[in-house]
Amino acid sequence: EKMVEPQEEMDRWILSRTSSLVQKVEEAMERYALDEATELFIPFFDELTNWYIRRNRRRFWSDEESLSRQEAFSTLYIVFKTCIKTLAPFAPYITDLIWSNLRRPEEPISVHLTSFPDPTALYRNEELERAHTAAQTVTTLGHALRKELKMKVRQPLAKAFVAVSDPLWQKALLPVLESIRDDLNV
């Protein structure tokens, strides 16, 4: 699936992350490291559900038809289909069942009649991937601190400080500060 670059950063991030997954799975398969290839799906699906979908709830649940809502569903559809094609060699029956529910009438009847996804067909931005990895790390640590201090996420914080000594991480965090604030309720 080739699509126009979406406007929302989160859509661009998950497409880039999906491209990265396909590339790493393909590289592992070429080395016959099938265990390594299958293990790549677990953190990806965790990021898909606990970062992308959770952070975009408002867009998915919106009653108003908008370009943002349309792009969110279009992006998710492309990510699902790409993942199903990538996962098909490892889980043939379940991926074929899911494919039968996702495919368009003009597409092959089985996922096994499709080509393995091309990682270069999707939007790719490694810097954006690093930024969101950094943001996820910071929010995970922030939520752990809240839990330790018995502070519910619904209770807003006046400030949050993030100590970062690595200049690459500092640079990576700048574009995602708003996501971190929002996720930690600062």
Residue-wise pLDDT for 1-54, tens only, equals: 455 678 899 999 999 999 999 999 999 999 999 999 999 999 999 999 999 999
Residue-wise pLDDT for 123-181, tens only, equals: 899 999 999 999 999 999 999 999 999 999 899 999 989 888 888 888 888 888 888 99
Q: What's the pLDDT score for residue 3?
A: 59
Contact yes or no for 15/123 (Cβ under 8 A): yes
d(CA 130, CA 22): 17
164-168 CB contacts, 8 Å cutoff, 24+ apart: 168/130
Reported pTM:
0.86
**Which DSSP letter does residue 163 get?**
-
Look at residue 99 and tell me whether its pLDDT is greater than 70: yes
